[in-house]
Amino acid sequence: MNSDQPIDLDKQAELMKKYVVYTRKTRVQKLLVYTGYFRLSRYGKYLLSQSNIIKSKPNQELLFEAYDFDVKVRKVFFDYVKKAEIQFKSHLVNAVSLKVNDSAFYLDQQYYTPSKGDNDKIKKKANRKFFAEKFFENLKKQEEELRRNVTKFPELKDYRNGGGRSKQKIPCWAALSYFDFGTVTNIYAYLRGDLRKEVLVYGYSGKNYGKQVTKQMDTWLDATRNLRNVCSHHNKLIGKTSSIVLPESGEDEILVTNTDLFSRIYALRKLLNEKDVKQLKVDLDKIIRKTKFDLYLFGILPSDWKERFDRINKL
């Protein structure tokens, strides 16, 4: 059978037998109506790959438990990645605009390092190419779109033809509130080294940050953005690996691996304020205690994740 051909609900349920054992087809069909075959099959495929752990083919109850846990935990993470995104945008626009006294600094190349200060010649060349041909051009296009699209952004009418600020660029605190998190993380990644440090001094503990920490911050932002994308698009989170997280000096042993779910939690902890950090732990623990899905058995999180979480120092 051609797997790219559309199939009805009954056949979709039959195909789920490749991954799980079930006795009540109607329950599987009800979940398929809600999730769609492709989405649900990702959970089935993941659980089947873990058969060596459970010593048998997964059953429908395990499928339902895994899916339910994934939905709930994604809701928690999405709430906190939104907080991290908003907070970081605020730190970035305030720190840099105040330092350089320029409300539209994001559109001025003098505040960026196109090579990202990379020592590797190949990476340096690639960074410069991406900056010139994609990143900076895209920034200008996004600002122009904000200015031009009357229907979508009526609140920015003053920056259009005939408006009182039509000759001015849209200030960073307005523009970055509309930019996606990927654009914002790229702005930070390409900023001059002194400005990258300035963002950290402004938004976090105020200590003297070195170049190493700004590079670590790049990985924490990428990890948080990856987590946000998974949650916002309602994709499977359990068992998923993502971009590499670099721990701060002295914290290497806190991470189990640098690409798993706990490494995303590590990155989030670095970005969030202390009040949000404490509540994240409470909310996550509440979901874990109530779930029937044994996430520790499958290595979704380390069993001592709370103790590891408490050992992560604030930035």
Q: Any residues with CB less than 8 A from the CB of 53 and at least 6 apart, and which?
A: 297, 298
Domain boundaries, the chain: 9-58, 65-310
For residue 2, what pLDDT is reported? Answer: 55
Residue-wise pLDDT tens digits, 18-64: 999 998 899 999 999 999 999 999 999 999 999 999 999 999 999 99
With residue 4 as reference, give the H or E element that holds it. Answer: none
Cβ atoms of 170 and 156 within 8 Å: the answer is yes
Is the confidence at residue 160, as pLDDT, over 80?
A: yes
Is the confidence at residue 1, as pLDDT, over 60?
A: no
For residue 225, what pLDDT is reported? Answer: 97
Three-class DSSP labels, 146-208 = HHHCCCCCHHHHHHCCCCCCCCCCCCHHHHHHHCCHHHHHHHHHHECHHHHHHHHHHHCCCCC
Mean pLDDT is lowest, of 103-107, 207-211, 246-250, for 207-211
For residue 4, what pLDDT is reported? Answer: 74
Residue-wise pLDDT tens digits, 162-188: 888 888 999 999 999 999 999 999 999
Cβ atoms of 305 and 196 within 8 Å: the answer is no
Reported confidence tier of residue 3, pLDDT bands at 50, 70, 90: low
Residue-wise pLDDT tens digits, 210-255: 999 999 999 999 999 999 999 999 999 999 999 999 999 999 999 9
Furthest C-alpha separation in the chain: 71
CA 142 vs CA 19, 65, 145, 148, 193: distances in Å:
44, 42, 5, 10, 24
